Structure 1
Amino acid sequence: MTEKIYSNLTQLGGDTRLPDSPDTAELERVPNPQADVAYAVRFTAPEFTSLCPMTGQPDFAHLVIDYVPGDWLVESKSLKLFLGAFRNHGAFHEDCTISIARRLVDFLGPRWLRIGGYWYPRGGIPIDVFWQTGPLPDGIWLPDQGVPPYRGRG
């Protein structure tokens, strides 16, 4: 059964280059073998980077993506490459965060998804961006995202 579920994956297990942009990044998915169970999955990207669209300077964030899968699971290497494709992509914090969430929702059709984008300060002001598809489904245990508010050195 395992080989059948993973037979369509093209990036896992091979040498794969970082995509040129988020638009060209190829997300991959596999059927959820536990689709009859409601459970949460968390991806954490503590070293996410993108570029300021005005200055071209790098921006850094700690992303936390929680989702309750439906029929599909995102393949984690393809997600890593998709997130890495933002490294040379110019967009504001809000656009990056919401674009990631919407692409995952459109691609996976999860029962529920939320993203927390905890951006490090730009111009002395940290910007945090939060979005979710709706209320958390009943019966799901989901811990806090665990990222404290930015306090600088203090």
Structure 2
Amino acid sequence: MNTKQPLYGERAISEAELICFENPNLVRPYEISIELPEFTCKCPFSGYPDFAVLRLIYEPGLKILELKSIKFYINSYREKKISHEEVANRILDDLVEACEPNWMKLEVDFNPRGNVHTVIRVSHGK
């Protein structure tokens, strides 16, 4: 068997780049809501995996985030050791930079670990 290493999914994730396309309707404001239920990263202190549901809602400006690129971008955090607070803020910053929305809100709802449940909410614009 001649399976390339790393596997195609791992290659796509390592090359992840947020891609946008032109907003097809600039006449009316509207919201886009995206849920990513399988987010993972690692705790920077213990190295244990953290699991979360990401809920993104935004009003697009001139550009729309392409869904497949979001999937690869989000999956690139799987092996990163990063705090809950930093990951929420970094993701929001990257998404805002990529698509320049009128406003954007991100909720990162981490699975409870050690009897502690954390939800981080960050926003950009009004």
TM-score, normalized by length of structure 2? 0.87
Cα shift at 1:36: 2.4
- Residue-pair matches, total: 118
Structure with higher strand content: 2
Residue 88 of structure 1 is matched in structure 2 by 79
| Match 1:66 to one of 57, 76, 86 | 57
Question: Does the CA contact (< 8 Å) of 1:51 and 1:59 recur in 2?
Answer: yes
Measure how far apart 1:57 and its partner are. Answer: 1.1
Following superposition of structure 1 onto structure 2, how do residues 102-141 of structure 1 map, counting pairs within 5 Å?
102-135=93-126
Structure 1: runs of 5+ lacking an equivalent: 1-14, 136-154
Return the alpha-carbon distance in structure 2 between the equivalents of residues 103 and 52 of structure 1. Answer: 20
The amino acid that maps onto 1:97 is A
Report how far residue 58 of structure 1 moved. 0.6
| Separation (CA, whole Å) in 2 of partners of 1:134 and 1:73 | 16
Matched, 1:19 2:10: no
Q: Is the 8 A contact 1:18 1:84 kept in 2?
A: no
1:38 equivalent in alignment to 2:29: yes
Deviation at 1:123, TM superposition (A): 2.3
Q: Which amino acid aligns with 1:79?
A: I
Residue 107 of structure 1: CA displacement?
1.2
Query: Does the aligned pair in 2 maintain the 1:18–1:85 contact within 8 Å?
Result: no
Match for 2:123: what amino acid?
A: Q
Q: TM-score, normalised by structure 1?
A: 0.72
Deviation digits for residues 94-140 of structure 1 (CA, Å, limit 9, x no counterpart): 111111111111111100100011111232211110011133xxxxx
Q: Which has the higher contact order (CA 8 A, sep 6+)?
A: 2
Cα 1:53–1:74 change in 2 (3 A) is: same
